[in-house]
Amino acid sequence: MTRTLAVVALMSLTAFMPAASVCAPTAAGRHGGAVAAADASPYNVGPLLHPSKKYFGVSRPKAPHSMEPVLDWAQKVGKQPNLIVYYAGWGDGFDASGTRNAWNSGAMTVVSWEPRGTTLTRIADGASDSYLREYAKAVRRLNIPIAISFADEMNGDWEEWGTTETTPQEYVRAWRHVHDVFEAAGATNVIWTWSPNIVRPGTHNDLSPLYPGDAYVDWVGLIGYFTDWDPHSFDGLFGTTLTEIARFSRKPLLLLETAAMPGRHRAQDVRALFHGVTASPDLVGFAWFDHKARADWRLDASPEGAAEFRRLSADDLYGFDVRRVR
């Protein structure tokens, strides 16, 4: 699904001063090696990978470059999100100011990076290395934790990098190359988020050939929506995919992009979402796609669903200030 989004999860409407960087991994990254020369040690993202509470995220137009949509949404749901997902095109510069805006409010950004206008083979062969190095250096300079979801929904046929345009081997090769360029630049303050679309209920797709490997992935970020034609239960919608991923990965899981169609089922679907995330120790949280795109996924589109969302999000399990996680 094509979007330009933002996902936020914060603890309060009050802005805080940025937390001090914590000494982190060595220059080959979190897994060892020598640290790249820099003014400060890279931020240690390890504690953020599987915190004790759940991420409570949202994606809204113009966020996080502008935080007004986030504050507006927080007032409606009664809680600040602490995860903001936004979408970037290939060739776009790193939104350092937006990332800082989110961080100063207690939220981390997720960049869904869409490599349109090129091919995964060209990326893997180094054709974009100059761009990647500059991007990685900007991420390292800011030294705030971010998550990057590169070329998501790769298991579908609707994206330029999807199943009809490339092979799993080329996808994995491109992913690893992008990751390695960041590691070489010392940009180890990134949470690498591999984000397939959910496997349709009642079917089976082998996702393992598309998996870059545990050394290259920190989170598995699922993309899936409650629709009128899918099951209105968490296990019915996500169960097949969770079972498939468990065959080859034990990484923490994030519902990177989710929502429910408006209408008579939305309140039920919202309950299913919260109950499913709450019940799963492997799921670190979710981000609600609060946009009108092909369907009206905005919470405002369903008063009953919005009321249920506000009620369930009041649970203290959801939301925390990401800067205070150590």
Cα R_g (the chain), whole angstroms = 18
Question: Quick one: which H or E segment has residue 85?
Answer: strand 83-89
For residue 114, what is the DSSP state? E
CB 31 within 8 A of CB 215: yes
Strand partners, 85: 110
- Please say if 153 is a catalytic residue: yes
Catalytic residue among 114, 153, 244, 308: 153
Question: Quick one: which H or E segment has residue 288?
Answer: strand 283-289
Indicate the residue type of 82.
Answer: N
Strand partners, 58: 84, 288
CB 66 within 8 A of CB 9: no
Catalytic residue among 114, 244, 257, 308: 257
- Please say if 304 is a catalytic residue: no
Which of 189, 210, 245 minimizes the C-alpha distance to 46? 189
Q: Which residues of 149-167 are buried (b: 16+ CB within 10 A; e: fewer)?
A: bbbbbbbbeebbbbbeebe
CA distances from 82 to 154, 220, 315 (A): 26, 18, 14
| Catalytic residue annotation | 153, 257
